[in-house]
């Protein structure tokens, strides 16, 4: 399993962003990390991927392990070779390359070209629309198709763990449903471990097995997804529901204040 143990991350040598974060993403399960903008969710994923240095960040305390192997001491390309891959927020496909060239780039860590070809065919089997556009430049795909390509490119390295950062962001409802089906399929058919960062808490808790809530660089609540869905604070502050389960409008709320019962 993927284990984060009391990690701290500092940017520019002075800005403490993560303040003792510990979490576990269990094998073959979907774990979601919830929180508002600026809570530290994406920084957590970059700490796992070894990408903090690209933004002048540094892991200053704690450990990150995958099946007992320390990842926090490795450069990003070695983290990929250990079995961890990340799909970034905003998709970030190579717009000037074709769909198939994007997938080939994702398989750079695979030395066997026959396995690269097999992986490409596997991606086309999961994402049928990509097969039809295999020779089309990625920049001309729709947002949903680009998200499919971004996930497919991540799968090319045959990961054990996939980190998904806001996969539903900016997508039409139809594509959101497609992406959710794919995430479930990856878990069920490939026993892939998924760590999902998602602001759409209702969506995340619907497909996740376990969840963590992050605020101001700290984990403030965690538990099974079903238990989090029933938590009154989660309902109010992340699902927008009142105590009766009715969706409320913030226009009717004169003062928005977090009670943070989980900290008491």
Q: What whole-number distance in Å separates Cα of residue 216 and Cα of residue 19?
A: 8
Consecutive H or E run containing 125: helix 113-126
Kindly report, residue by residue over 23-49, the tens digit of the pLDDT: 999 999 999 999 888 899 999 999 999
Residue 255 pLDDT greater than 90, yes or no: no
Q: Where are the domains of the chain?
A: 2-230, 234-264
| Per-residue confidence (pLDDT) for residue 114, from 0 to 100 | 84
Full DSSP string of 131-181: HHTTTSBGGGS-HHHHHHHHHHHHHTT--SEEEEESTTTT--HHHHHHHHH
Consecutive H or E run containing 195: strand 193-197
Mean pLDDT score of the chain: 87
For 131, phi and psi rounded to 5 degrees? -60, -40
Full DSSP string of 38-56: TSSHHHHHHHHHT-GGGGT
Span 55-65, mean pLDDT? 94
Q: Does domain 2-230 have CATH number 3.40.50.300?
A: yes
Q: What whole-number distance in Å separates Cα of residue 109 and Cα of residue 158?
A: 9
| Per-residue confidence (pLDDT) for residue 242, from 0 to 100 | 54
């Amino acid at each position: 399993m993927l284990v984060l143990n009391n990690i701290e991350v500092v940017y520019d040598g002075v800005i403490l962003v993560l303040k003792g974060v510990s979490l576990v993403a269990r094998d073959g399960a979907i774990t979601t990390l919830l929180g508002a903008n600026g809570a530290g969710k994406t920084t957590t994923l970059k700490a796992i991927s070894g990408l903090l240095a690209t933004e002048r960040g540094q892991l200053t305390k704690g450990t990150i392990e995958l099946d007992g192997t320390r990842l926090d001491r490795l450069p990003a390309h070695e983290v990929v070779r250990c079995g961890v891959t990340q799909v970034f927020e905003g998709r970030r496909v190579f717009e000037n390359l074709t769909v198939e060239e994007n997938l080939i780039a994702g398989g750079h860590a695979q030395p066997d070209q026959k396995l690269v070809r097999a992986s490409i065919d596997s991606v086309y089997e999961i994402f049928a629309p990509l097969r039809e556009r295999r020779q089309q430049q990625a920049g001309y795909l729709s947002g949903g198709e680009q998200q499919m390509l971004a996930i497919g490119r991540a799968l090319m390295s045959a990961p054990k763990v996939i980190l998904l950062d806001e996969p539903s962001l900016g997508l039409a409802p139809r594509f959101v449903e497609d992406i959710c089906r794919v995430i479930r399929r990856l878990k069920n058919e490939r026993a892939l471990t998924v760590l999902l960062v998602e602001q759409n808490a209702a969506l995340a808790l619907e497909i996740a097995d376990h969840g963590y809530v992050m605020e101001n660089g700290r984990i403030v609540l965690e538990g099974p997804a079903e238990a989090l869905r029933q938590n009154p604070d989660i309902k109010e502050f992340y699902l927008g529901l009142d105590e009766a389960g009715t969706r409320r409008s913030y226009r009717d709320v004169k003062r928005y204040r977090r009670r943070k019962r989980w900290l008491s």
